[in-house]
Every structure is written in structure tokens, then in C-alpha cells.
Amino acid sequence: MSRKAKQKIILNNIEVLRGGAKGVSVGKTEEGKTVLIKGAIPGDVVDVHILKKKSSYLEGQAIEIHTKSPYRVQPECEHFGVCGGCKWQDMSYDAQLKFKHDEVVNNLVRIGGFKDLEAEIVSILGSKEQYFYRNKLEFTFSNARWLTLEEIQSGKEFDDRDVVGFHIPGAWSKVLDVTKCHLQRDPSNVIRVEAKRFALEHNLDFFDLKNQEGLLRTLMIRTSQNGQVMVLVQFFREEKENREAFLQNLKDKFPEITSLLYAINPKQNDSVYDLDIEVFAGEDHIMEKMEDLNFKIGPKSFYQTNPEQAYELYKLTRDFAGLTGNELVYDLYTGTGTIAQFVSKKAKKVVGVESVQEAIDAAKAAAKFNGIDNCDFYCGDMKDVLNQDFINEHGIPDVLITDPPRDGMHKKVVENILFMNPKRIVYVSCNSATQARDLELMKNQYKIVKVQPVDMFPQTHHVENIVLLERI
């Protein structure tokens, strides 16, 4: 007997009430059940195709808009709705800021249990640039272009399947053919277009993601605020003549490329961190500047992808720290030591801790390059490093800055911080939910003095948040 098909559940005329976590919007059924809705924004009235049913909420996709929200705007990008990278392009920027701000407040109240914070929360700091703000993008070469629904339904055979673009969310083996991306300034778009043109003209093999074969894999483009450009091309295998011809064409067409690199990558993934990077032309890095600090950015380096807004974030972090020049500062999850170096000139000493040895090596090299002699960097698991021996050696911090990954801090790290009991803590987070969870564990010992959301990624739901804590 054939299995009975599931009945399609449609909820009609659902009013979208507010923004929710991870870019979805929130509505309610007539019975008061929460509905998490993709493809809608607050103020819409929509029909929703329910995809998941949970005991306390429903998840679904908006399939028809009956009433358009006053926050709706026309998306700038022709790829909106397919690419998946800028899901809030159809919402005005003022509205984006409002809902990001509200999410931070909601998490602090609902998860952290902080009820009376209105006086401490500063309005979210918007980004000066709402498009073309990223300094790094990575495009994928693929022989399996994503076909539109209209193309599929036409029944035609499509031979033009070679593409340079972005992976489709939920369909990793398919790649969207990007005509113009609004995230990175030129020459990003023109370099990508020329790379595709040359490859097609010379019959170079685009990568087959399913079968793991082909020549051209990825194209990474990094730019700096002083106009330098890095291009890194990953080839699946070495074909010296084709490789050199491809790279030489980029060199000839784009003299603004100051760092032209390549790697041979026969692995199952595109990660660069375990690859040998070769220089085809120019330098092995580009330079970025922030105040009087200079940073060498290599192909494997981490650097904030919105550099102009990163500067604002770091200034606020330094201001929150309230440094006078006499303080010992701990910088946890220091990465390549950018924040540590940025605050060092106003501190007596900064101790940075990070679990990735390559990042620590880069931090030490950067501090030496910048002539900074009051920063020390140590590698190790945060929950293990911050023990009594470490404190005996380096001292109890007056100020502690922490900028953990999205998962937040391990409970043991929070316990170690509470044991050290610094006078002030500045908690920088890219996930206000896990931040609120960690702050709840500290509320008996620390009070929230100030909260400052910062928008680093316009057109997306992501938001950074800075919280200043003072010892009670």
C-alpha cells in the first residue's frame, strides 16, 4: 500500500508582528500560537505554508502577501530571494536597525532576565555604508549552474551550466550565477566577470562539486581601504600552462591587483588554512590601517569584513573599557590581537588569550610590526588557560575584554572570570542570545552599566552588541 501524502497546511492572513531571531519574522495564529515565518517582514499580512509543527510554535514560508508592510522597499540586487546572502534587502534600513535593536533588548530581557535596562541601552549604531561594505568575498566555480523554476519547467536542455557565484542555501552542489554582487566594491565584480569570460573562452574546466573533478575551484577577492586588492585562485589540480595563462590574464587586465596568489587544492573542501599559498605576482599580503596601526592581511588572515564599522566597534570597546593608562587588561578570544593592539596605547599592559596557534603567531607578528611592547599573547583553551598559575604570573586584570565566537563562553570560562573578579568587563558579541545567557550567570557579581548594539552587516539579520559590566 502506498504511503498517504502529507496534507499541505496553509494558514491564511497571518499578521507579521515583529522580527525574530536568525532573520525570520514572527506572527500569531488566531489561537495565539507563535508562527516563525520566512519571506515576510513585520507589518505584512501573509498566507503561510507550514513546514514544521512543534509543540510551542510553527515554522513556515510566506507564499502570498495580502497586505504589504510599510517597511517594505524594493531590493537593490537582482539575485534577492535566491542568493540568500542579504535576506533583509526588502526592508528599509531604518526598520532593519529597529528590529536588530529590539532583538538585543528581547534577548537580554527574555534570556538574561534583565528587566529594567532602558536607561542603559544606547540606540543601535548603524553602518555608514549599507551596500558594498565587505572587504572579502569568495566565489565558487561550478559546472552545475542553479536553474530557475521557469527554466526547469520549460523542459529545455541548458548547456550553459558553467558559473562563478555563490552556493545556493540548502543545495550546496548548486551555484548561483552572480551578475552583480552589492556586497563588495569594484574591482570585485569586474574581476569575477573577467575570470569567467577567460575560462569559458579557453575551455577551462569548471569544478564538479559532486564528482570532485575539474580545474577551477574558487576565486577569493580581498580589498583594503587604501585600495589594495588581493586575488586568490584555487585550482583542483596543477595544469601549469592553463594556470599561468589564467593568472597572467588577471594580472594584465587588472594592474590594481597588488597580491595575485594561487593554491592547488585536491581536498574535499575549499578551506585555505591547510594549503600552501603561492605568489604569482605582487606581494603575499595587502595592508590595512586603523588609526596608527598597520595590519598585514594575508590569504589566511582574519580581519573584520566591514572595516569601517569595525573601527567604530573598536572605538566603542575602548571607550567602554575606560582606560587611563594604568590598567592591566585581559583580552579573551583575542584572535589576531586586533582589539588588544587597539586598546594597548591606553593601557599599562594587555594580555591576549586565544586557542588557535596561527592566530597567536599573527598577533605577535602584528604587535612587533606596529612597535607595540605592552601586549603579550598566549595560546590555549580558554577554560584551561585562565587558572591560578596564569593569574599568579600575569596578575588580576583591572579590565577584561571578551569577544567570543557565536556560541558564547564556556561555563568554566565564566566561572574563571568571576573568580578573577575584574573591576570592569566589556563583553563584545556577535550573538546577543548567547551573550545574554552568559550575562545571566554573572548578574550576582556584576551589573550592566551600558549596552550598545552595532550593525556590522546591513541587509542581514546579524547584529553585534557591546555590554559594559561593573563589579557590584
Per-residue pLDDT of 394-442, as tens digits, reads 999 999 999 999 999 999 999 999 999 999 999 999 999 999 999 999 9
What are 264's three cell numbers? 592547488
Q: How far apart are CA 31 and CA 258, in angstroms?
A: 61
Catalytic residues: 430
Same topology, domains 1-72 and 136-297? Answer is yes
239 is in an annotated binding site: no
Q: Which whole number is the average pLDDT over 349-353?
A: 97
Domain 1-72 has CATH 2.40.50.140: yes
Residue 82 has a pLDDT of 86
Q: Which of 368, 241, 387, 225 is nearest to 308 (CA)?
A: 225
Per-residue pLDDT averaged across 245-268, rounded? 97
**Which residues sit opposite 428 in a β-bridge?**
466
- Reply yes or no on whether the pLDDT at 245 is more than 70: yes
Q: What is the pLDDT of residue 358?
A: 87
- Residue extents of the structural domains in the chain: 1-72, 97-129+306-471, 136-297
What is the rounded average pLDDT of the residues 199-209? Answer: 96
Going across the sheet that includes 216-223, the strands are 171-177, 163-168, 136-142, 216-223, 229-235, 257-264, 278-282
Is residue 333 annotated as involved in ligand binding? yes
Give residue 2's pLDDT band: very low, low, confident or very high (50, 70, 90): very low
Residue 6 above 60 pLDDT? yes
Q: Is 403 within any annotated ligand binding site?
A: yes
Could you tell me the three cell numbers for 347? 593601557
Answer yes or no: is 304 a known binding residue: yes
Amino acid in position 50: I
Q: Which residues 6+ apart lie within 8 Å of 460 measured at CB?
A: 23, 85, 86, 87, 88
Q: Which of 113-117, 205-209, 254-258, 337-341 has the lowest mean pLDDT?
A: 113-117
> For the residues 4-28, what does the mean pLDDT come to?
83
pLDDT band at 7 (very low <50, low <70, confident <90, very high): confident
The cell numbers describing 404, all together, are 567570543
Whether 36 and 30 have beta carbons less than 8 Å apart is answered as: no
Q: pLDDT band for position 81 (50/70/90)?
A: confident
Rounded mean pLDDT, 287-306: 92
Reported as a single tens digit per residue, the pLDDT across 40-76 is: 999 999 999 999 988 889 999 999 999 999 999 999 9
Provide mean pLDDT across the span 304-309.
94
pLDDT in tens, 149-196: 666 666 677 777 899 999 988 777 889 999 999 999 999 999 999 999
Percent of the chain at pLDDT exceeding 70: 97
Return the top range by mean pLDDT from 87-91, 112-116, 315-319, 352-356: 315-319
Map the chain to HEC letters. Answer: CCCCCCCCCEEEEEEEEEECHHHCEEEECCCCCEEEEECCCCCCEEEEEEEEECCCEEEEEEEEEEECCCCECCCCCCCCCCCCCCCCCCECHHHHHHHHHHHHHHHHHHCCCCCCCCCCECCCECCCCCCCCECEEEEEEECCECCCHHHHHHCCCCCCCCEEEEEECCEEEEEEECCCCCCECCCHHHHHHHHHHHHHHCCCCECECCCCECCEEEEEEEECCCCCEEEEEEECCCCHHHHHHHHHHHHHHCCCEEEEEEEECCCCCCCCCCCCCEEEEECCCEEEEECCEEEEECCCCCCCCCHHHHHHHHHHHHHHHCCCCCCEEEEECCCCCHHHHHHHCCCCEEEEEECCHHHHHHHHHHHHHCCCCCEEEEECCHHHHCCHHHHHHHCCCCEEEECCCCCCCCHHHHHHHHHHCCCEEEEEECCHHHHHHHHHCCCCCEEEEEEEEECCCCCCCCCEEEEEEEEC
Residue (of 341, 471, 444) closest to 114 by Cα position: 444
**HSE of 451 in the Cβ direction (CA atoms, 13 Å)?**
28
Whole-model pTM? 0.91
Give the lowest-confidence range in 21-25, 99-103, 110-114, 290-294. 21-25
The overall average pLDDT reported for the chain is 93
Which CATH topology does 97-129+306-471 take? Rossmann fold (3.40.50)
Encode pLDDT of 360-407 as tens digits.
Answer: 999 999 999 999 999 999 999 999 999 999 999 999 999 999 999 999
Residue 185 contacts residue 132 (beta carbons within 8 Å): yes
Please say if the pLDDT value at position 89 is more than 80: yes
Q: What is the CATH number of domain 136-297?
A: 2.40.50.1070
